Structure 1
Amino acid sequence: MSLLVLVKEAGIVGAGGAGFPTHVKLAAKAEYILLNGAECEPLLRVDQQLMAVYPDEIIKGFEAAGRLVGAEKALIGIKEKHKEVVEILNQRIKALGMDSYVEVRGLKDAYPAGDEQVLVYELTGRVVPEAGIPIEVGCVVINSETALNIFHASRNKPVTEKYITVAGDIPQRMTVKVPVGTPIIDVLRLSGIENFAEYSVIDGGPMMGPVMISLDGYVTKKTKGLVILKKQHNLIKRKTTTMEAAKRVNKSCEQCRMCTEMCPRYLLGHDLQPHKMMRVTNYGLQDQEDQKMVYLCSQCNLCELFSCPIGLFPKSNNQYLKQQLMENNIRFTKVPISYTARKNREFRLVPSKRLVARLGLYHLDKPAPMTDVTVNPEVVRIAKSQHVGAPAIPIVAIGDNVSAGQLIGKIPDNSLGAAIHASISGTVVEIEHAYIAIRRV
């Protein structure tokens, strides 16, 4: 059985948060395959630790993926500051005899180094076109944990577990491995906190992750980090500001251009200018052709949480305008031209330490060591849709006994999607609209 089929049957999706089905990515042909080990979100520690603990497996999975897409070179992008991890990777690449094909390249400690398009530029010097994807410039990008899962797939092991960093204003920071479908609250309690009445939880990193409305959710293949902060923390207040409140505050925009001048996509040569979009909303401008640039926003949140000197909400404004365009069925039109990064880009990169300080997280930016803890939920709820594409179709029924690793949901015919598997052995007790629930034996 080919590796591509094994990857598809294993249900592998982008583990960094996007959740795009990996078998679709690996069906392409590329000049480069890139490993995204930047992990630029503050406080998160999954990728750097996986590369230190499982270097051989990640390197082998990455190399196999590169051969599959026909890549001439396999490049690992990791921040230079992680010197120990870089040394481990270099040593293992050489020991495995892959040094002529796999290469480690250092990245600056800046945000957002892990943005897919930024990573492509840093490692290859190529600029992904506006509204484009890396394959358009001959690159395929996968995450460190995804590479680990590819290795496991080559050994017929599907995705049933997820690595998560639990961080924030908590007694116990750690990175743990838990079954997919584990109740979020079970993971949060590993922090040493039992009562979360005074806390809010960010699902993902502090920059791009949303504040969870409820803690009643379940771990998916995309869950990467859980950042726990007091409800009165300024970051929580900023992230929970309503759009109507943001629009009122945004009326004080002075058009200083800082949101644009420090925008990672603008610096890559794209025509994304958030300050102009603030002008559109504040003055009720109607030219929707100019507004289409909001489709280029990666929602990295740099403009909103760092660049704006008076704390306005340019990213939220981009989202507001994008929603309006989508409701009117107005889409961005791609133009077949090449792009060049702006000359001042290297002087406008945002150091991670400055970003962490601005977010008010400096005192919380501490290790979250890989911790061997056992999380045995009595019931797991495995989402049918935890990936880009159509929800998986259940192939089990209530009352069925299943084993850990067993296929329980398949990809709909002729659709983009990913398979799902039982993460524990037990009995199927519920198949509702969104989940397949399994009770442990």
Structure 2
Amino acid sequence: MNLLDMIKDAGIIGAGGAGFPTHAKLASKAEYILMNGAECEPLLRVDQQLMAMYPEEIIKGFEAAGKLAGAQQAIIGIKGKHKEVIAILRDKIQALQLGEYVAVKELPDVYPAGDEQVLVYELTGRIVPEAGIPIHVGCVVVNSETALNIYKAIQGKPVTEKYITVAGDIPNRLTVKVPVGTPVMDVLKLSGIENFDDYAVIDGGPMMGPVMANLNGFVTKKSKGYVILKKQHHLIRRKTVKTEQARRINRATCEQCRMCTDLCPRYLLGHNMQPHKMMRTLAYSLKDMEEQKIAYLCCQCNLCELFACPAGLYPKSANMMVKQSLMEQNLRFQAKPKEYAVRTARAYRLLPSKRLVARLGLKDFDKPAPVTELELRPETVQIAVCQHVGAPAVPAVKAGDRVTEGQLIGTVPEGSLGAPIHASISGTVLETENGFIAIRRD
């Protein structure tokens, strides 16, 4: 079996973000393969800790992925502040005699250094075109946990577990490895909190992660962390504003100062993403649909909404409203060939992570979340058949079947983009309906 098939059969997807199937990404031919070790979301710690714990495995998985994609150079991007991790990686690269192929490049400690297109520019100097993806400029991007999973796939091990950071206003901050499908509440209680009536939970990082509507969900392959805050915390109140309320506030208050645009990471890369124009569109009910199509260029980093706007308005929400309207009318952005250049002011408008943490009201919680050896053994797991970009997996088991950890339980539909899923514990299948395959531990 070739490596691409090994990666596909292991069910590897992007370990954070949208969860794009890795085999489809590595089927492209690239000049560079880049590892996203920036982990720019405040409070999350998984990537930096994995690179320190498993440097050899991650580097070998990364090298294998690069060779598969035909990349001439493999570059690991990690923030310069992680000096110990950088030293570990560089020493291991030399020990493995990979110095001519794999390099470590330090990134500035800014948000969003981990945005895929920002990362491509910082590591290669290339600008991904509007509405484009890294392969359009000869780059493929994976993150550190994905590289680790590629190494495991070579050893014959599919994706059955996930590393999660639990952080926020809690007694115990930690990073833990759990089976895919573990009840979220089981993970949250590791924080030392038993009653969550007064708390809200952000699924992912505090900038891009949504506030969970309920805490009855289950860990997926792309889960990264949970940030637990009091319900009255400023950030929670901002993130739970209703769409219509945001629309009314925007229309009544926006003075078109354009700070949201001036600090927009995609705008600074030379794209035509201009959030202040989306605010104007809603305020004046403008009808120029062609101009509104730039809403598709938003990366949803939330910097405009949670930091840039001096009046505390909701530019990202305005952009999403416009984008939703365009989608309902089946209107899409069409990129036009052109040369891109970063804005001259970009170097002076990068947002330091410490300033962001302070603005979000998270300074007191920006502390280590060390990896714990605690083994979480849920009695039942519920593994989503759709936890990736593409078609849902088709159950390959039925209620009553006995399965073992690592066994294939869901396959990719013929001719479809997707990723198979595997049993994360050994036990008996309880059900395969409602979008989940539930397994009870023996």
TM bin, normalised by shorter chain, reads over 0.9
Give 1:173 shift: 0.2
Q: What is the alpha-carbon distance in structure 1 between the residues aligned to residue 377 and residue 16 of structure 2?
A: 24
Partner of 1:212: 212
Partner of 2:241: 241
Partner of 1:272: 273
Give 1:260 shift: 0.2
Task: In structure 2, give the amino acid aligned to 1:13.
Answer: I
Partner of 2:151: 151
| 2:283 counterpart of 1:282 | yes
Give 1:246 shift: 0.5
Alignment of 1:65-144 (within 5 A): 65-144=65-144
Q: What is the alpha-carbon distance in structure 2 between the residues aligned to residue 426 and residue 335 of structure 1?
A: 54
Classify the secondary structure of the residue corresponding to 1:39.
Answer: coil
Task: In structure 1, give the amino acid aligned to 2:301.
Answer: C
| 2:312 counterpart of 1:302 | no
Partner of 2:166: 166
Deviation per residue, 1:324-346 (Å, 9 max, x gap): 00001111112122311111111
Partner of 2:31: 31
Tell me the TM-score normalized by structure 1.
Answer: 1.00
Task: In structure 1, give the amino acid aligned to 2:361.
Answer: G
Give 1:169 shift: 0.2
Alignment of 1:251-262 (within 5 A): 251=251, 252-262=253-263
Alignment of 1:372-411 (within 5 A): 372-411=373-412
Give 1:249 shift: 1.0
Give 1:374 shift: 1.1
Q: What is the alpha-carbon distance in structure 1 between the residues aligned to residue 337 and residue 400 of structure 2?
A: 54
Give 1:310 shift: 0.7
Alignment of 1:302-381 (within 5 A): 302-381=303-382
Q: What is the alpha-carbon distance in structure 1 between the residues aligned to residue 413 and residue 66 of structure 2?
A: 27
Give 1:411 shift: 0.3
| 2:59 counterpart of 1:56 | no
Query: Considering only aligned residues, what root-mean-square deviation do their CA atoms show, in Å?
Result: 0.5
Q: What is the alpha-carbon distance in structure 2 between the residues aligned to residue 154 and residue 135 of structure 1?
A: 24
Give 1:214 shift: 0.5
Deviation per residue, 1:329-376 (Å, 9 max, x gap): 111112122311111111100000000000000010000001111111
Deviation per residue, 1:77-98 (Å, 9 max, x gap): 0000000000000000000110
Q: What is the alpha-carbon distance in structure 2 between the residues aligned to residue 54 and residue 6 of structure 1?
A: 20
Task: In structure 1, give the amino acid aligned to 2:100.
Answer: S
Deviation per residue, 1:244-285 (Å, 9 max, x gap): 111111121111110000000000000011111101100111
| 2:42 counterpart of 1:42 | yes
Q: What is the alpha-carbon distance in structure 1 between the residues aligned to residue 398 and residue 331 of structure 2?
A: 42
Give 1:17 shift: 2.2
Partner of 2:229: 229
Q: What is the alpha-carbon distance in structure 2 between the residues aligned to residue 298 and residue 82 of structure 1?
A: 26
Q: What is the alpha-carbon distance in structure 1 between the residues aligned to residue 239 and residue 84 of structure 2?
A: 34
Deviation per residue, 1:153-182 (Å, 9 max, x gap): 001100000000000000000000000000
Q: What is the alpha-carbon distance in structure 2 between the residues aligned to residue 379 and residue 259 of structure 1?
A: 45
For structure 2, the residue ranges without an aligned partner over 5 or more in a row are: none
Q: What is the alpha-carbon distance in structure 2 between the residues aligned to residue 222 and residue 63 of structure 1?
A: 22
Identity of aligned residues (%): 70
Give 1:208 shift: 0.1
Q: What is the alpha-carbon distance in structure 1 between the residues aligned to residue 242 and residue 228 of structure 2?
A: 21
Task: In structure 2, give the amino acid aligned to 1:264.
Answer: P
Give 1:53 shift: 0.3
Give 1:213 shift: 0.1
Task: In structure 2, give the amino acid aligned to 1:367.
Answer: P
Classify the secondary structure of the residue corresponding to 2:63.
Answer: helix
Q: What is the alpha-carbon distance in structure 1 between the residues aligned to residue 335 and residue 433 of structure 2?
A: 40
Partner of 1:433: 434
Q: What is the alpha-carbon distance in structure 1 between the residues aligned to residue 17 and residue 332 of structure 2?
A: 24
Classify the secondary structure of the residue corresponding to 2:47.
Answer: helix
Partner of 2:178: 178
Tell me the TM-score normalized by structure 2.
Answer: 0.99
Q: What is the alpha-carbon distance in structure 1 between the residues aligned to residue 104 and residue 128 of structure 2?
A: 21
Task: In structure 2, give the amino acid aligned to 1:10.
Answer: A
For structure 1, the residue ranges without an aligned partner over 5 or more in a row are: none
Question: How many residue pairs get matched?
Answer: 441
Give 1:300 shift: 0.1
